Amino acid sequence: MATMFSPFNDFDRLANSFFARPGLREMPMDLYRDGDEYILRADLPGIDPESVDVDVDGQLLTIRAERKLPEVKDVQWITRERQSSSFVRQLNLGQGIDIDGIAASYDNGVLTVTIPVSAQAKPRKIQVVSGGDDRQSLGGGTGSGGDRVIGEGELVNGETSTQSTEG
């Protein structure tokens, strides 16, 4: 049986034992935007899906998971690198996130969290109109009842203008 010796692996393990919080392990993740949603994928191998907890408190997204290995007694260990441990990752969600639309799934050791962008934060096209009629210009003017005209046939207060831009 061949064994590999790496002083760097041993040093990493030693450093993690001194500087990491006890029982907490790294949760590597990827985060990217795809259209109108952010996709977070986190590696959680060997985790029981029932132990995975994703919650949002205000703008803070927290992912928790726990790996519990069965106790094996009365054996002679050759190497033991897998441990029962807890995983925690927190992310601050910026403004413009649809918190009610967040969804999560766990498949083949990978947790996927889909975070939709809110409708208010999505890019939108603003119509620019021009012409001799002040009512249809961006500089303002008022429609009936003192409403400011935004674009052709649209008023701020939701009343529709029927005035034509031809003239």
pLDDT tens figures, 116-144: 988 776 677 888 998 765 554 444 444 44
Query: Can you give the pLDDT at residue 140?
Result: 46
pLDDT attached to residue 154: 42
Q: How far is CA 135 from CA 140, 145, 159, 160, in A?
A: 7, 13, 14, 13
Q: pTM, whole model, 2 decimals?
A: 0.59
Six-digit token string for 94: 């910026």
- Tell me which of 73 and 112 has the higher pLDDT: 112
Tell me the domains of the chain and their CATH numbers: 23-71+79-120 (2.60.40.790), 125-161 (no CATH)
Tokens linked to 105: 């799934």
The confidence score (pLDDT) of residue 101 equals: 92
What is the reported pLDDT for 157?
43
Residue 68 makes CB contacts below 8 A (sequence gap 6+) with 48, 51, 84
Q: Please state the separation of Cα 10 from the chain's center in Å.
A: 34
pLDDT at 161 over 60: no
Q: Where are the beta strands (DSSP E) in the chain?
A: 24-25, 29-34, 37-43, 53-57, 60-67, 85-92, 103-107, 110-116, 149-151, 154-155
Read off the pLDDT of each residue in 143-163 and give the average, rounded to a whole number: 44
pLDDT-derived band at 26 (thresholds 50, 70, 90) equals: confident
Q: What is the pLDDT of residue 57?
A: 93
Q: What is the pLDDT of residues 54-108, one digit of tens each?
A: 999 988 999 999 998 888 889 998 988 888 889 999 999 888 899 999 999 999 9
Cα–Cα distance, 117 to 58 (Å, whole number): 15
